[in-house]
Amino acid sequence: MEVKKKDIRALTKEQLREFFVKHGDKAFRGNQVYEWLWQKSAYSFEDMTNISLETRQMLEDNFVINHIKVDQMQRSSDGTIKNAVRLHDDLVVESVLIPTASRTTACVSSQVGCSLDCRFCATARLKRMRNLNPDEIYDQVVAIDNESRLYHNRPLSNIVFMGMGEPLMNYNNVLKAIDKITSPEGLGMSPKRIVVSTSGVPKMIKKMADDNVKFKLAVSLHSAIDDIRTSIMPFNSTFPLHDLREALQYWYAATKNRITYEYVVWDGINDKRKDVEALVEFCKFAPSKVNLIEYNPIDDGEFQQATSKAIDMYVSILEANNITVTVRRSRGKDIDAACGQLANKS
Ligand code: SAH
């Protein structure tokens, strides 16, 4: 009977060290192999030249090294790059490189498809769903870092978990990936340059606070009125605004980090004065920033971007209440790489 070999990159450093001790070797061997797997992105055990042949064979007998494969790379006229990433089981996710004058940001996926059902988001329509493993998240970042060096002559500077999926529904793996991204044996990036974006899972936001995480939090709010939010983000009936706000208060008390809200204003849905007033009321408990994101149409015109008059009203009322507000234009629309457009179309 053929034994199914384990993915060695699913092991933590500690587990690798224990593995070697169990096999009569030194724990330190685990550190060496760990460095090959993460910092040096080795694709085979053969590459691990400072490990004895015999040990490499033993690893080969026990494990496989899975890596993602960038199947297709599309470049937008504005410099944005979208990668279609094939996983070891042939499923595909997407990640995006977003360049600005001073930074390169990687927008990475945390799930194949999504656990949630936002009605304006293309990813929510994908049927298939599984969580990404830590190595699959890490590899997306490495691929974008390489592309940033190649096409923009600088390393990756920031990471946002705003690709496919709900990161807080795959919390453990997202945390493990961030651990490797920030560790010196991985990419050594500062956690302050990483933003995890959530539709708002109260229990997990509290857990993040308890776990004392160092990365930043963004919340896709879109409405501060329960009925409206439930109509566009149906899971809001399970996690209503009251619970979300309580969790965010807990998060702020623990971290003292400003909270960023992502917010699209749609015609006839959330473009009235009462909508802005509810938003002000919702976020005034802590220093807040509202990113007004441009809507990227995904289909039939059910949702339409609000008028610039409505956006101006949001900006002036928020500013009058000392809430920082930015109006963000989407990048990479010509290659379906903008917010909410990731759906494995090509
Ligand atoms: N599930 C997480 C991570 C996805 S981030 C979250 O919801 O935060 C993707 C961001 O794009 C979210 O803020 C989401 O609300 C927004 N978005 C989804 N569809 C969009 C669309 N069609 N146009 C603009 N933004 C969209």
pLDDT tens, position by position, 256-315:
999 999 999 999 999 999 999 999 999 999 999 999 999 988 876 789 999 999 999 999
Indicate whether 206 and 306 sit together in one domain. Answer: yes
pLDDT value for 120: 94
What CATH number corresponds to the domain at position 34? Answer: 1.10.150.530
Q: Strands, DSSP E only, in 88-200?
A: 92-99, 104-107, 111-112, 130-131, 158-161, 194-198
Specify whether 189 is located in the same domain as 87. Answer: yes
340 within some domain: no
Whose tokens are 């096409």? That residue is 151
147 and 96 in a common domain: yes
From residue 343, alpha-carbon distances to 103, 122, 127, 128 in Å are: 25, 6, 10, 11
DSSP state of 305: B
Q: Do 119 and 208 fall into the same domain?
A: yes
Domain boundary among 17, 37, 64: 64
State how far the Cα of 105 lies from the Cα of 160, in Å rounded to an integer: 7
Whether 173 is in the pocket of ligand 1, judged by its Cβ within 6 Å, is no
Q: What is the pTM of this model?
A: 0.92
C-alpha 311/C-alpha 326 separation (Å) is 11
Structure confidence at residue 340 (pLDDT): 74
Q: In 177-232, which ranges are E strands?
A: 194-198, 216-220
* Domain match, 39 and 173 both: no
**Average pLDDT of the residues of the chain:** 93
Same domain, 27 and 127: no
90 found inside a domain: yes
Going by alpha carbons, the residue nearest to atom 15 of ligand 1 is 220
- Cβ of residue 340 lying under 6 Å from some atom of ligand 1: yes
Question: Percent of the chain at pLDDT above 70?
Answer: 98
Tokens of 9: 């990159």
Q: Same domain, yes or no, for 157 and 133?
A: yes
Residue to substitute in 262, 311, 328, 342 for testing ligand 1 pocket (most ligand atoms within 8 angstroms of CB): 262
Whether the per-residue pLDDT at 89 is higher than 70: the answer is yes
Residues 244 and 198 reside in one and the same domain = yes
Which residue bears the tokens 């600005």? 100
Give catalytic status of residue 94 as yes or no: yes
295 CB near ligand 1 (under 6 Å): yes
Tokens of 78: 């504005």
pLDDT of residue 128: 73
- Binding residues, by number, are 114, 118, 121, 165-166, 197, 220-222, 296
Number of folded domains that form the chain: 2
How sure is the predictor about 4, in pLDDT bands with cuts at 50, 70 and 90? Answer: confident
List the domain range (segments joined by +) for residue 44. 6-64
Rounded CA-CA distance 283/217 in Å is: 14
Is 283 part of the annotated catalytic residue set?
no
Whole-number pLDDT of residue 346? 57
